[in-house]
Structure 1
């Protein structure tokens, strides 16, 4: 994965929201005391957040004008190969993003944090997959990776979804613009991809329900670009991701039906045929998923029966999800027919 190139692209995109890389930061080398600096900044950020909770700041947080952010950002630029530093940076970026009022700033920060997170994940995977790594160390690294990846579901995906709802756009790293054919998850990390899909489901559902309660609807999934990018790059998972795309559009169709007077985010009325178009899109994805090849992982008959059963669980869950989507779409269609005069 060309993270250095992605860093450049993410920072170029972030410049639009006020987060710019300085020439001096780009030219820095990773300092010998990088981890010590990171730990010190981590403590300072914690203290700053606590103070902000007690006494809200009176000045707006603008990332590239904030000294503490710039120090974290400098470490991000200078230490792309320092796993220990990159494991901490996503949490630090997340904490700093809580000071930002702008959803664009939060999304831009989350895009940079995503790069740091994936850098660290890839480094951890190499050690985990190394046959020379002891079982005890491997278990410890698994725990570290699981903790690291909570940034995706708790920070990056929600921040990007909010930005997507409001603007209909995303940022370079998370949208995989520079690596369109490279799956961000190795074969041994398939469970991480499934966890990301679950985070997408929960985030979109929460967004759709929350907006509907306020009288608003969205006309397309806010992170569809990410799901389509994953489907293109992670071919073994294409069938699963396509079912999830169908689910995303089903959420929109159901919300539009339940909120017939709902407005779009820009204040305009929702399209009169939104329920029908969203339902049709969901059905198209569902039908396409049935034509796709099965994930070879599920078809491997060389493994033991217990392991084969364990491997079949995600496939069973995918079938259950597809049936749920199909049933929901049928109920929406029936309700629309019954509502006609």
Structure 2
């Protein structure tokens, strides 16, 4: 599991470095590599429920608090409006719904994710302005209507937040699927086929009902849930495979990154924000673009720009160094 988390952190930094892999825009209604990262972490937390049946309420509340504290940084430094929502807050809310509001005897039954999907579908359709095309305009979606009541003027965009409250229902399903998957004890040989089946089912659902179940991370639709679950299962297979083929020193380093996944998330995001928001006065470009242009060159006999690959390598080496520093200093963010 440490290798799985560490491998996902590396993917997160790759997606941040390559612009083409970044999150799909709302109106694109498709799946980019960056869109699979957060669902994979949610899936992993579900897999760990086998070892820890119920996550205490105070841990989830602390996770929400950590996310809000992180969002205070731009509020204090740049005088921006405070945004209460975020990925950690979404995960904390979903975990509360799964672990603390639903009795275990109901939570573990297949009817639970079916009920959540049904509730999400009904709210998304009938609370939207256009019931035939409920997601045509993000301003008039059910998610935006709910969020505007609680967070008006404090969202990621003025008219929509990709980490909206309604999406927490389907994020809960993602966590549930992780718990279900690990409890089945599938034969390792058939696990890849299970992953591809989820991806195929998600695509069929989005093709059959494009207006109701488009693939979208900002909405966290059922088709998105199925496809990202499939990719999470495939990533789990790759992680196991990496444990077998990588040299022990590299394997141990990736696992160590997985053990400090929360610390790496905060450090990586802060470093990226600092680089991408800091402008070099002499040139008027960001520090990130300045460094990127320094490494910009074409690979011999090709037209491939090597700067993103070099930036990714450097960034992950820095993260690895930070991980060893945390390990050496015994620094760890603990949820009590």
Q: TM-score if structure 1 supplies the norm length?
A: 0.26
Select the structure with the greater relative contact order (CA < 8 A; seq sep ≥ 6): 2
Say which one has the larger Rg. Answer: 1
Q: TM-score if structure 2 supplies the norm length?
A: 0.26
